[in-house]
């Protein structure tokens, strides 16, 4: 992604979370704030673009529901767009809240996009420092959205404009208050767009100076990412969409590869959620289109 362009994938992810909170029952992850950051005009425009693109996703669905655009949008969003953003956010934040109870004092969000955790948890303002790291253009886009929605920036939220995929600057973090305290990191929707070497280097840098017990939650694609088509070709579509948006997917891992990489940075896998487990935890007994993506896993890893 270019420095002067806001991330398209972050906007699509935010749209998926907003749609879920507005329309789905039961709710897996209620991002009731992000709805305020996507204007009605933007929401309508993204919705229409998705509906117009139904032939890319599934021609049969487009034909079946050609007189029902709302059902087409529901299908695209629930099958293709929402499952991973809502489930990984639900998992990550459940782990985070537990880590705060266990003494975590800092939360670093890598690739924050339009994340709204800080605004949904004002009770943590005096307990948790939050550092949002993302491209400068993406952060400026978010700040404009927050200002337009009349949100004030709380004292515990620190913006760190940085291309962390190229080089992580500890100095930039320290300059806004980052300290040698127990820290929780999230890296959601990012690992696929980095090479294996870049991910290993990034995780090594993240944990080089933080104390034992600090941890990270991230999602990653398994070794079938570029082989499996998935339900209604959605895995293949995901890869194609990423490439078309200028943010191609670059890496996939076997579990043993992931375990070895984390060990090299002094981390142990505390919890690993496979697609089957994700489906059981977050999508069981649903009567809509939502289900876990076939190739996406979640990891909670802790520094030894």
Tell me the pLDDT band of 1, cut-offs 50, 70 and 90: very low
Which residue's entry shows tokens 């944990």?
207
pLDDT of 4 strictly over 50: no
Q: What's the rounded Cα separation, in Å, for the pair 134 and 131?
A: 10
Residue 193 neighbours by CB under 8 Å, 6+ apart: 165, 242, 247, 248, 249, 250
Tell me the pLDDT band of 6, cut-offs 50, 70 and 90: low
Domain boundaries, the chain: 83-303
8 A C-beta contact, residue 267 and residue 301: yes
Q: What's the rounded Cα separation, in Å, for the pair 93 and 89?
A: 6
CATH of domain 83-303: 3.40.50.150
The stretches of the chain forming alpha helices (DSSP H) are 8-23, 40-52, 54-57, 59-64, 69-76, 83-101, 117-120, 136-148, 170-175, 196-206, 234-244, 255-264, 275-282
**Pair type for strands 183-187 and 106-110:** parallel
Condensed to tens digits (0 to 9), the pLDDT of residues 95-146 reads 999 999 999 999 999 999 999 999 999 999 999 999 999 999 999 999 999 9
Condensed to tens digits (0 to 9), the pLDDT of residues 172-219 reads 999 999 999 999 999 999 999 999 999 999 999 999 999 999 999 999
- pTM, two decimal places: 0.95
């Amino acid at each position: 992604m270019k420095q002067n362009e806001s991330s398209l994938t972050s906007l699509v992810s935010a749209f998926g979370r907003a749609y879920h909170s507005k329309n789905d029952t039961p709710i897996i992850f209620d991002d009731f704030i992000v709805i305020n950051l996507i204007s009605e005009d933007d929401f309508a425009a993204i919705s229409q673009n998705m509906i117009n693109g139904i032939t890319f996703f599934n021609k049969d669905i487009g034909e079946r529901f050609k007189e029902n655009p709302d059902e087409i949008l529901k299908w695209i969003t629930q099958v293709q767009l929402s499952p991973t953003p809502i489930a990984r956010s639900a998992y990550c934040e459940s782990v985070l809240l537990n880590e705060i109870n266990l003494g975590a004092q800092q939360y670093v969000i890598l690739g924050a996009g339009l994340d709204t955790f800080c605004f949904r948890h004002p009770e943590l303002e005096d307990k948790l420092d939050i550092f949002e790291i993302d491209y400068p253009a993406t952060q400026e886009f978010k700040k404009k959205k927050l200002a337009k929605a009349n949100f004030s920036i709380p004292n515990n939220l620190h913006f760190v404009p940085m291309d962390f995929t190229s080089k992580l600057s500890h100095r930039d973090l320290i300059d806004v208050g980052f300290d040698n305290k127990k820290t929780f990191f999230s890296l959601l929707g990012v690992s696929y767009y980095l090479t294996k070497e870049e991910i290993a280097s990034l995780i090594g840098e993240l944990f080089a100076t933080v104390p034992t017990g600090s941890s990270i939650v991230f999602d990653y694609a398994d070794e079938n990412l570029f082989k499996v088509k998935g339900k209604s070709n959605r895995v293949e579509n995901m890869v194609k969409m990423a490439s078309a948006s200028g943010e191609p997917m670059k890496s996939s891992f076997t579990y043993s590869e992931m375990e070895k990489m984390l060990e090299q940075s002094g981390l142990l896998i505390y919890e690993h959620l496979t697609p089957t487990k994700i489906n059981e935890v977050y999508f069981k007994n649903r009567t809509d289109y939502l289900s876990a993506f076939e190739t996406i896993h979640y990891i909670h890893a802790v520094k030894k």
